[in-house]
Structure 1
Amino acid sequence: MSDLLIELFSEEIPARMQARARADLQKLVTDGLVEAGLTYAHAAAFSTPRRLTLAIEGLSAESRAVREERKGPSTSAPAQAVEGFLRSTGLSLDQLEKRADKKGEVYFAVIEKPGRAAPLIIADVLETTIRTFPWPKSMRWGAGSLRWVRPLHSILCLLSDEGGAEVVPLSVDGIVSGNSTRGHRFLSPGAFSVNNFEDYAAKLKRAHVILDSAEREDTIWAEAQTLAFAAGMELVEDRGLLAEVAGLVEWPVPLMGRIGADFLHLPPEVLQTSMKEHQKFFSVKNPKTGRIEGFVTVANTVTADHGETILKGNQKVLAARLSDARFFWENDLRVAKFGMADWAEGLKSVTFHNKLGSQADRIARIAALAREIAPMVGADPDLAERAARLAKLDLRSAMVGEFPELQGLMGLYYAQAAGEPEAVAHAARDHYAPLGPSDAVPTEPVSVAVALADKIDTLTGFWAIDEKPTGSKDPFALRRAALGVIRLVLGNEVRLGLSTLFGTAMAERLSHFGTDGEDAKTSDLLAFFHDRLKVFLKDQGIRHDVIDACLAMPGNDDLTLLVKRAQALQATLQTEDGANLVAGSKRASNILAQAEAKDGVEYSFGADPKFAETDEERALFTALDQAEAAIAPAMAREDFAAAMQAMAGLRAPIDAFFTATQINSDNPILRRNRLNLLHRIRAICLSVADLGKLDG
């Protein structure tokens, strides 16, 4: 067994591409080696701004020899058929064998492929990988035809074992493989040779290159926290920025600076976003004031003045950037203090969708919907409508024009500056939420009303114009909008009849196009919601068939009610009585269905206990009476747990009844009575959930 080390050394690889490139390199090479017949024990990929590295342990020395027998056409087959078989096997006619077969004599090809040495396979696989590497963007340079993300300078390809190391020979567009690499561009630019991965990683570190991006992240975070702590400040966590910065440096040197006093009055999110997007700076907060007052930048080199010159240059550039942000902020505040009327007017000329009108049209629809939803979530209708009319006006602000990711948040500040109620300002901030599975769900009633209205308007609008998600394509993020509605409803235990809301909104949109059919579209949209709900609840451990059993019940457009029922049913099925009751209920339903099909009648008249012959039969009548008496009031107060507990209590008397009683008695009166009794069992179970939808 040998170890393989590959390094592709180039000009700087964009940080955003490095994680994907590591994964692609590992997959392409290892898949290629395995497909060619080699095996390996472990593989790991690494990256720095100037190199992609792959280390493979326990690689086999050669591929196994392969012997394949392939049956061909009859020896009397037309020449064209034989020639086609020869082409597919790569053999000549005299290399084929003739063998007896049931239908006569046929040709057989025996194809033997000898094992290949690992270096030959590695060279082929690596050259193919380099030439076909799936960079999002690539370039050519010089006179060659090779494409790479940035000019590729060298290829290190080394196979090593206890006996030493050998270079795997290959050449790609004039770049010949070797056993050497280079260190840090400024601190250790010279070339050096390596013998194996351990030697490689150690020499790189001595040459001021930390190979592992995770180690660079840990170094940056630890040293940046130390700098902030020493100044009595706190580093603002940003894991996405940390990963990006780690992809920009090979030898990270964090440096801390201060933000000029002229900019400290800007909202902290503006400072943080400006520094992150333009400078890749980490924000540093003063815990005493709660303001962003400093920053940490990460240099890629060590300087004699301990980074003083670097900091001065960065602070100069930062001051220019923050001057722009201050200009945007102050101009926007002037508009906000006069009620944002200019922004509202401007949105009339901004198209939301060519079939759904302008942003102003959309805001009017959301405002009407928010007013309708408000009483259902405990919000003031006037405040909900007002919030909906203001929530998207910051889209016309200069700050959001510069930093689109601040939309909503800037709406909060501008609404506050305009003197709007806090509930209105908070709704402007929160109405986009939740944007993702980890995003917090708004809880303030006005925010919930506007957030629901925003998402329901989006869904019903695009459903009305038949722009639905298809396969993996969802250009308008409708799956995310549906999940947002689900999380808002369930997170706040909101009781909404979605069918009514969808129908009202759909009818308004379809009337605009002069068409109808809102019932069909509403049903289709509700089915889409049910599919998204299944995905959401599956992640919470609720079985898909449990959800199906509850979806079959009335009121399935009330998601809070639906989930309460599903949770209670799942809990019941996890008990022995609950699981066995399902089997008993299905048995009753099957026998009843067979009898009804055979007799051509429906057995639902009502079983009479006076015809009961056995103690078990009489006990079942009593148990059903008790269950009905408990289930009906429990269902009326939506206490599904109590209803299902009462239903599960039927398990023992149903089992005893089936054991002791012959359903299809020779006595037609007894048979009819017992079939009516089975109908009663089925009806009681169906009053809680459709147990027939359950698996097993």
Structure 2
Amino acid sequence: MPDLLLELFSEEIPARMQAKAADDLKKMVTDALVERGVVYEGASAYATPRRLALTVHGLPIRQPDTREERKGPRVGAPDGAIQGFLKAAGLASLDQARIESDPKKGEFYVAVVEKAGRAVPDLIAEIVPEVIRSFPWPKSMRWGSGSLRWVRPLHSILCTFGPETEDPEVVRFEIEGVAVGDTTKGHRFLAPGTIQVRRFEDYVAKLEAAKVVLDPARRRDIILTDARNLAFAQGLELVEDDAVLHEAAGLVEWPVVLMGSFEESFLSVPDEAIQATIRANQKCFVVRNPKTGRLANRFILIANIEASDGGAAIVAGNERVIRARLSDAKFFWETDQKPLPGYEDEGKPLDQRLAKIVASNVVFHEKLGTQGQRIERIASLARALAPAVGADPAKAERAARLAKADLATEMVGEFPELQGLMGRYYATAQGEDAAIAAALEDHYRPKGAGDSAPTDPVAVAVALADKLDTLIGFWTIDEKPTGSKDPYALRRAALGVIRLVLDNRLRLPLLAVIAKAPFAKSNDIADDLLAFFADRLKVQLREQGARHDLVDAVFGLGGQDDLLLIVRRVEALGRFLGSEDGKALLAGAKRAANILRIEEKKDGAGAYAGGADASLLTEPEEKGLQAALQTARQAATSAIDSEDYEGAMTALAQLRRPVDAFFDKILVNAEDAALRLNRLKLLEEIRTATRSVADFSRIEG
């Protein structure tokens, strides 16, 4: 079956745009083919700095014929309706239509419209110009006198179609003078000549011969393998960096791995700052000395040419730039540890930076005050939280006060991604307690699903205070997430609190914490914020395989703000409902709740409170259920008081048979009003007993 080969050849495409552009090209072309009824076996798209390429294989030669029955007006309809039907159906007269009858609508005309399929190359000639003109580049440009827009000037289009056994044909179309043919060009410097190609396999092989590796995944493999080998040959280890790897692969068509060096004196700068400098300015890898675990004074760069001097000039140019940038980093590192002019009386360097933040009145949020005011809130909250997490209150407060101080340093100003990390380095350098220094880095964690939560109590206290202050503050000013919008990353902050609590198995009543917050309206937002935590906890537990409705059932009890106990209840409830006793009791409890909900509409809420009157219980099943309820309720309450949720579930499991027997033998809505009321009170006791562990009415199934 025929294959399509398409290449759009242009000036250099930014590396960050290439992967999505390849995906967009594949989707837009294949979607357009499918819309026209053309199916295919497979498709692949590729990108290099100067080209987007697409191959679609297993295409038919022609579009399939179509046959459509089009219903027309009734027989005897006005002439205008008849003429409109004939025109729409492409018929010359009504003789070409047939008449069908319907028992309700009578007789009406039906036209059979048959349409022959078109040649697929003709369809491609329509599709590709449409795709090019509507291509969703984040940024595009127009050049010359035409109206065509592309990410960079588009030089040529290669488009061929045909089976493997024959020479493919060039799909001809016009798009503002850009040439369409079966030729492309190789590497800009190493093989700039024109290359004629036939089909995809031929295209890939000839590009390779012309020093172009088409597949970005293969370019990444080449870079990573050669970089590892080059480092190993020098007795070093490559520090792998996915961001650098992907960008480097997007900057070169023929990757050539080289090694450069810099002065050892720069190694006095923290490793992370060296790596950030080299990554940001030259898109290069750093290497590690396996004997010391520290960085070596080497770096690995990716060139796009095989230079006649073995790359010496390229390496020297990169070394000059990196030397200058590392000189800046070393200056920042040393300057940040010196007294800050005008703040010499404020104590140590970080204290001086903190004083600068406070004095500058940098606004955190117009409704939540300055960054200095926020730091005071976090420090106060961290001290209050310290006993609950096992931290020293003084250390927690000190760490919280210094946590944002590195934001005023030169190093973090240049490399914002180093915030927290540089705080730890500077805190260590000025002799802070190790737990305080570590907290300055770790209080930002967990930063995402793949990040671990801190475990040191001081870091945990500051991390909780930081995230809770953010949540409480934005809830107070009613700046909550809406839909997919979450500009202040409040969902991530809530998940961070959940992770901190659960991973460290902390007992932290959230309502009490919210009440301590220094916002006048904090009590007003407590329930709504707790519901937000419930939603985030559902997400967390669902990713771990738990059922979201069980979280609803536990939160449905009201006042449930201890996340660790909530999770324990959910886990125990899940195991219980997985048993036969649990399933049967759930069915009985939901049946009782449904009856009560219906009857309460007649008698009013609370009409069945107070428990059933034992003197009105006449049937053995009633008496047996009441006795079982009393025993189970006492045992479950005692187990819950001691936080033994498995024990509470075991106690409730004893209700299974009495509840089943009651519903099998007893008519709840008896004709005798007193008997009916008493039996409804007995159902209320079932609901009350099960609500000691969860709101069973919220459980699905």
Q: Which residue of 1 aligns with 2:419?
A: 407
**Counterpart AA for 1:188:** A
Distance 1:324 1:632, change over 3 A: same
Q: Answer yes or no: is the 8 Å Cα contact 2:236–2:289 preserved in 1.
A: yes
Q: Which residue of 2 aligns with 1:533?
A: 537
**Residue range with higher mean Cα deviation, 205-214 or 92-101:** 92-101
Distance 1:666 1:106, change over 3 A: closer
Question: In the aligned structure 1, how far is the partner of 2:625 from the partner of 2:505?
Answer: 38
Q: Answer yes or no: is the 8 Å Cα contact 2:514–2:523 preserved in 1.
A: no
Q: CA deviation at 1:675?
A: 3.7
Q: 1:362 aligns with which of 374, 377, 382?
A: 374
Q: 2:410 aligns with which of 395, 398, 401?
A: 398
Q: Which residue of 1 aligns with 2:640?
A: 635
Distance 1:459 1:595, change over 3 A: closer
Q: 1:588 aligns with which of 592, 606, 624?
A: 592
Distance 1:355 1:687, change over 3 A: same
Q: Which residue of 2 aligns with 1:144?
A: 146
**Counterpart AA for 2:158:** L
Q: CA deviation at 1:384?
A: 1.4
Q: 1:302 aligns with which of 303, 306, 329?
A: 306
Question: In the aligned structure 1, how far is the partner of 2:24 from the partner of 2:153?
Answer: 18
Question: In the aligned structure 2, how far is the partner of 1:78 from the partner of 1:367?
Answer: 84
Question: In the aligned structure 1, how far is the partner of 2:11 from the partner of 2:223?
Answer: 23
Q: Answer yes or no: is the 8 Å Cα contact 2:259–2:300 preserved in 1.
A: yes
Q: Answer yes or no: is the 8 Å Cα contact 1:555–1:561 preserved in 2.
A: no
**Residue range with higher mean Cα deviation, 25-34 or 311-320:** 311-320
**Counterpart AA for 2:444:** Y
Q: 1:563 aligns with which of 553, 562, 567?
A: 567
Question: In the aligned structure 2, how far is the partner of 1:325 from the partner of 1:598?
Answer: 77
CA deviations 1:604-632 (Å, max 9, x no partner) are 44346677666655554554344234311
Q: Which residue of 2 aligns with 1:453?
A: 465
Question: In the aligned structure 2, how far is the partner of 1:591 from the partner of 1:422?
Answer: 62
Q: Answer yes or no: is the 8 Å Cα contact 2:337–2:349 preserved in 1.
A: no
Distance 1:92 1:474, change over 3 A: farther
CA deviations 1:188-236 (Å, max 9, x no partner) are 2222222221221222222222221111111211121112222221111
CA deviations 1:9-47 (Å, max 9, x no partner) are 111111111111111111111111111221112111111
SS of 1:171's equivalent in the other structure is coil
- Where does 1:594-673 land on structure 2 (aligned, <5 Å)? 594-595=598-599, 597=601, 602-607=607-612, 619-664=624-669, 673=678
**Residue range with higher mean Cα deviation, 656-665 or 255-264:** 656-665
Distance 1:524 1:662, change over 3 A: closer
Q: Which residue of 2 aligns with 1:320?
A: 324
Q: Which residue of 2 aligns with 1:56?
A: 56
Distance 1:467 1:72, change over 3 A: farther
Question: In the aligned structure 2, how far is the partner of 1:563 from the partner of 1:228?
Answer: 48
Q: CA deviation at 1:332?
A: 0.6
Q: Which residue of 2 aligns with 1:21?
A: 21
Q: Answer yes or no: is the 8 Å Cα contact 1:98–1:105 preserved in 2.
A: no
Question: In the aligned structure 2, how far is the partner of 1:526 from the partner of 1:3?
Answer: 58
Q: Answer yes or no: is the 8 Å Cα contact 2:6–2:55 preserved in 1.
A: yes
Question: In the aligned structure 2, how far is the partner of 1:225 from the partner of 1:5?
Answer: 35
SS of 2:138's equivalent in the other structure is coil
Q: 2:135 aligns with which of 107, 128, 133?
A: 133
Distance 1:669 1:123, change over 3 A: same
CA deviations 1:267-312 (Å, max 9, x no partner) are 0000111111111111111121221112211112223343333222
CA deviations 1:471-514 (Å, max 9, x no partner) are 22222222222222222222222222222333443xx44x5xxx
Q: Which residue of 2 aligns with 1:549?
A: 553
Q: 1:290 aligns with which of 293, 310, 316?
A: 293
Q: CA deviation at 1:467?
A: 2.1
Distance 1:480 1:605, change over 3 A: closer
Q: CA deviation at 1:119?
A: 0.9
Alignment RMSD: 2.9
Q: Answer yes or no: is the 8 Å Cα contact 2:336–2:349 preserved in 1.
A: no
**Counterpart AA for 1:684:** A
Q: Which residue of 1 aligns with 2:206?
A: 203
Q: Count the aligned residue pairs.
A: 687
Q: Which residue of 2 aligns with 1:259?
A: 262
**Residue range with higher mean Cα deviation, 103-112 or 21-30:** 103-112
Question: In the aligned structure 1, how far is the partner of 2:503 from the partner of 2:295?
Answer: 32
Q: 1:344 aligns with which of 335, 344, 354?
A: 354
**Residue range with higher mean Cα deviation, 264-273 or 144-153:** 144-153
Question: In the aligned structure 2, how far is the partner of 1:639 from the partner of 1:395?
Answer: 46
Task: Say if 2:256 is the partner of 1:244.
Answer: no
Question: In the aligned structure 2, how far is the partner of 1:7 from the partner of 1:538?
Answer: 44
**Counterpart AA for 1:155:** I
Question: In the aligned structure 1, how far is the partner of 2:64 from the partner of 2:162?
Answer: 20
SS of 1:172's equivalent in the other structure is coil
**Counterpart AA for 2:495:** L
Q: Answer yes or no: is the 8 Å Cα contact 1:338–1:418 preserved in 2.
A: yes
Distance 1:33 1:584, change over 3 A: same
- The unaligned stretches of length 5 or more in structure 2 are 341-346
Q: Answer yes or no: is the 8 Å Cα contact 2:257–2:302 preserved in 1.
A: yes
Task: Say if 2:693 is the partner of 1:688.
Answer: yes
CA deviations 1:30-66 (Å, max 9, x no partner) are 1111112211121111111111111112112222333
Q: TM-score, structure 1 length as denominator?
A: 0.91
**Residue range with higher mean Cα deviation, 269-278 or 676-685:** 676-685
Percent identity of paired positions between Structure 1 and Structure 2? 55
**Counterpart AA for 2:216:** S
- The unaligned stretches of length 5 or more in structure 1 are 512-516
**Counterpart AA for 1:283:** V
CA deviations 1:407-456 (Å, max 9, x no partner) are 11111111112222112111111122222111221111111111111122
SS of 2:217's equivalent in the other structure is helix
**Residue range with higher mean Cα deviation, 465-474 or 37-46:** 465-474
Question: In the aligned structure 2, how far is the partner of 1:613 from the partner of 1:65?
Answer: 79
- Where does 1:114-125 land on structure 2 (aligned, <5 Å)? 114-125=116-127
SS of 1:334's equivalent in the other structure is coil
Question: In the aligned structure 2, how far is the partner of 1:74 from the partner of 1:524?
Answer: 61
Q: Which residue of 2 aligns with 1:159?
A: 161
Distance 1:360 1:64, change over 3 A: same
Q: Which residue of 1 aligns with 2:274?
A: 271
Distance 1:306 1:577, change over 3 A: farther
CA deviations 1:163-189 (Å, max 9, x no partner) are 421111112221132112222222222
Q: Which residue of 2 aligns with 1:514?
A: none
Q: CA deviation at 1:76?
A: 9.3
Q: Answer yes or no: is the 8 Å Cα contact 1:7–1:52 preserved in 2.
A: yes
**Residue range with higher mean Cα deviation, 265-274 or 566-575:** 566-575
Q: Which residue of 2 aligns with 1:181?
A: 184
Question: In the aligned structure 2, how far is the partner of 1:668 from the partner of 1:314?
Answer: 93
Q: CA deviation at 1:330?
A: 0.7
Question: In the aligned structure 1, how far is the partner of 2:598 from the partner of 2:408?
Answer: 67
**Residue range with higher mean Cα deviation, 272-281 or 365-374:** 365-374
**Counterpart AA for 1:139:** M
Q: Answer yes or no: is the 8 Å Cα contact 1:75–1:98 preserved in 2.
A: no
Q: CA deviation at 1:240?
A: 2.2
Q: 2:440 aligns with which of 411, 428, 431?
A: 428
Question: In the aligned structure 2, how far is the partner of 1:595 from the partner of 1:569?
Answer: 28
**Counterpart AA for 1:122:** I
**Counterpart AA for 1:483:** L
Question: In the aligned structure 1, how far is the partner of 2:578 from the partner of 2:402?
Answer: 49
**Residue range with higher mean Cα deviation, 299-308 or 449-458:** 299-308
Q: Answer yes or no: is the 8 Å Cα contact 1:37–1:64 preserved in 2.
A: yes
Question: In the aligned structure 1, how far is the partner of 2:648 from the partner of 2:213?
Answer: 62
Question: In the aligned structure 2, how far is the partner of 1:689 from the partner of 1:188?
Answer: 72
Question: In the aligned structure 1, how far is the partner of 2:80 from the partner of 2:535?
Answer: 53
